[in-house]
Structure 1
Amino acid sequence: MLKAEVRESTGGEPDIHIARLLPTVRRYLARRVAATEVDDLVQDVAIRLHSRRTTDAIANPTAYLFQVAHSVLTDHVRRNQVRHRSAHLTLEEDHHPVEVCSPERVLQGKEDLARLVAAIGELPERTQQAFVLHRFEEMSYAAIARHLGISVSAVEKHIMKAIRILAAVIA
């Protein structure tokens, strides 16, 4: 299929030559990237060849094909450096089983949430305001201090107090 697509791209002898070289390009790429990425890169090479806008004859189809493959490989490496794909880990469900939410667990969660909401409502007014602005409105300590007209140190103390009280409610 890939060979036919390349052959149809401009229709001519160089395209047939390029189609014959695709296995060589595959080996070239396989020596430089993970085996799981080779097919995608070969497809990218074929797409670039197919989307070639000029109808001029290619003087050296072999050199042109490997230049395109090298460009695709360079783009791939640059993308991976930005994404840090090698640092990503796959989630294996055997090691991290999904916890089934039983009706009892759902009820327990709702009760815990109700206790927390009630406890937040019982916090001293300034402590409650600082906590809500930080945790729910995602405001920085400095922004909360400006909003409430208090020091950043006071905001820190209010939030620590709220966390201490709420942690006791959960425990």
Structure 2
Amino acid sequence: MPFDPAKPSLLSTLVRHYDELVDHVRRRFGDRGFAREVVHDVCVQLLEKREPQEVRTPLALLRKISHDQAVDRYRSERRRQAWIVEQPEHFDAVCDAPSPARQYEGERELERLVQAIEQLPARCQMVFVMHKIHQLPQAEVAARLGISLKTVEKHLKLGLAACRAHLDLSERAS
């Protein structure tokens, strides 16, 4: 393309009217930093693409290009922000499953509890298992075993105390 000094190129017009173009974008979008980035993007576009042959009003065209670039950038940023907000936090997600060490601890504690229940007297063991493991109401346990409600309460109290004592002894031994 031959150089005609009477017809300024878009790039030279952008350089000459840089501040005016930045202010034009800033007035519409409010952020001077954003406006500078947009005008810089327009400059890169002009450097990368071939300039159109006949431009009657280069400043008006640059304003239009800058405005369109700003709108595209603004929309793109809004979509990106919306996507970030919608995405659940997978990066910091913590697994609900217990760690292998905690699983081992739980298994050991369960074994100690089973040992404690096995060491209870037969009647106390039956009351304890029916109420605590099978979750039968105390009145139903009493009816099934043919004992009073007070006796059920006494066996539960003894069973709980024996289990606690066994677990405490097992923890101290570990």
Higher alpha-carbon Rg: 2
Q: TM-score, normalised by structure 1?
A: 0.42
Q: TM-score, normalised by structure 2?
A: 0.41
